[in-house]
Amino acid sequence: MKTAVVTDSTAYIPKDLRDRYNIHMIPLNVIFGETSYREEIDMSWKDYYKEVKAHENLPTTSQPAYGELISLYEKLGETYDAVISIHLSSGISGTFNSAVSASGMLEGIKVYPFDSEISCMAQGFYAIEAAEMAEKGAAPEEIIRHLDHMKTSMRAYFMVDDLSHLQRGGRLSGAQAFVGSLLKVKPILHFENKLIVPYEKIRTRKKAMNRLFELFGEDAEKGKPLRAVV
């Protein structure tokens, strides 16, 4: 069985790695005012930061159009028997649920949507692992079982200077953003139960950055093989 791997642009897998592992990318939309751009297709990162500087308000995002998912799956169905479709956490985006709905509309190819329950390059590691297994001929069900097992050891810690950006984008509750801003803390955030929530509250940016490296060191000291990205 020939299996394709799809992920969305929030995995931020560099194009050279996507090409190397034959990973197919579906873009989310970045919206400045009334203009929408497909991430990594209509807008480069250089263009993105130019737009950020040119606009008073930060952009919002929206999930891929339902029809784009169906079109991609149908195209892959011409050369593949199955698709593993890996997406950012369903707790902060409807992309995974759209993939589930789209998968039920298809004939001729079986789609296996996978909720990474996380985002960014941590999500990308799932896609790379799935692609490596698919290349070796693993069955889709075997790949999904392996990805589910990976969840027990997957972590993502991060810190932002302004919590209001996450709150406006619907990624963090208004109450959490308000408390963080009121106390002038730089909380370390992580994913828990598919949502972005505070992990620790740190008073300064420098201390928060040092704590992030400490958390990485704690996992590294466990002696198990790991993949990491900063």
Q: Which domains does the chain have, with CATH numbers?
A: 3-28+63-152 (3.40.50.10170), 157-220 (3.30.1180.10)
Q: What is the pLDDT of residue 175?
A: 45
Interatomic CA distance for residues 203 and 184, integer angstroms: 7
State pLDDT tens for residues 136-179: 999 999 999 999 999 999 999 988 766 665 555 555 554 454 44
Contact between 96 and 119 under an 8 Å Cβ cutoff? The reply is no
Q: Is the pTM of this model over 0.85?
A: yes
* pLDDT over 70 percentage in the chain: 89
| 98-107, 117-126, 147-156, 184-193: the lowest-pLDDT one | 184-193
Sheet with 35-38, side-by-side order of all strands:
35-38, 29-32, 60-62
Interatomic CA distance for residues 79 and 2, integer angstroms: 8
CB atoms within 10 A of CB 104: 8
**Angle separating helix axes 140-150 and 120-135, nearest 10 degrees:** 150
Position 51 pLDDT exceeds 50: yes
Sheet with 195-200, side-by-side order of all strands:
157-159, 188-192, 195-200
